[in-house]
Amino acid sequence: MAELTYRAAVARGIAQEMERDPNVVLIGEDVAAAGGVFKTTEGLFERFGPNRVRDTPISEEAIIGAIMGAAMNGLRPIGELMFSDFLATCWDIVANQIAKTRYMTGGQVALPLVIRTANGGGNRFGGQHAQSVENWAMAVPGLKVVAPSTPSDVIGLMAAAVRDPNPVVFFEHKKLFAAKQEVPEGEIVDRLGAATIRNPGSDVTIVALAAMVSVAEEAAVVLAASGVSAEVIDLRTLVPLDTKTLLESVSRTGRLVTVEENPRLCGWGAEITSIVVEEGFWHLDAPIVRVTTPHIPLPAAAELEDLAIPSSEQVVAAVQRME
């Protein structure tokens, strides 16, 4: 058991899969000798060499087009987009080509690829480099969507993503890169579509993702001091979505709060709200509450960004407002 940062876990998770399967390759801007702009790929170039860890031009279209072609020809490529915001520049390839190829070829052409990208705010990067866009990918049929909150989950879910026969968009939250956790030695392999209960509770279910998980956990501590038992669920993957864990939790607690870094309009919490109302309405003892970022471009100013992104205080207040 060794303490590992979230950013080091990214490199370990990729290395684990590259060691296991010679068809796994990594490409992206500055992922080789530089070790990545966020230092998430340090050591991989030295360990696996220039044929399997390759730098690319500053072109998201080139990166995504290359991994699509590589996957069609027998490799299992991992492509890094420096910022998730830049999915917008190659969205046609992701949404209209990669997501649909296996379906439209009747399974004759599989695309076992992973698109890694740094997601989310909190680092004062401004509206074009700090968005949480996992709901973009969630809306496209054919893509699987992963957003881990801990170093251990980074490794295990990276393994699951690389081994999956379908394209996976893997969101790494920038604010979590320095977060640390004790992680076991040896191979770690998780599965997509399994949420985790981070804090058991009986009075309210709080559902969160990525950096919002720690926000929800902090809120649970404050609520516990006032006699409210909050169950915190870390979704981990949006597609596939673990509706079983969600509905079972709501059936026990009778209340649901979602904590989303997405802008409010069409955030993933809206889909979860729809599912719970449709399939678990009679378990609810109060209206569902969504705590979200406002529907605005994320500010770069520290004070404004902190106001925009959900906080534990906002979550506590949301729970206390419930009947």
- Residues acting as catalytic residues: 129
Query: What strands lie across the sheet with 168-173, from one edge to the other?
Result: 53-55, 24-28, 76-83, 114-119, 168-173, 144-146, 237-239
Secondary structure letter of residue 274 according to DSSP: H
Cα four-point dihedral sign 1, 192, 95, 136 = negative
Residue type, 140: V
Q: How many CB atoms lie within 10 A of CB 116?
A: 28
Which pair of structure tokens corresponds to residue 320? Answer: 């206390």
- Report which of 260, 210, 253, 258 is spatially closest to residue 230, judged by C-alpha positions: 253
Strand partners, 293: 263
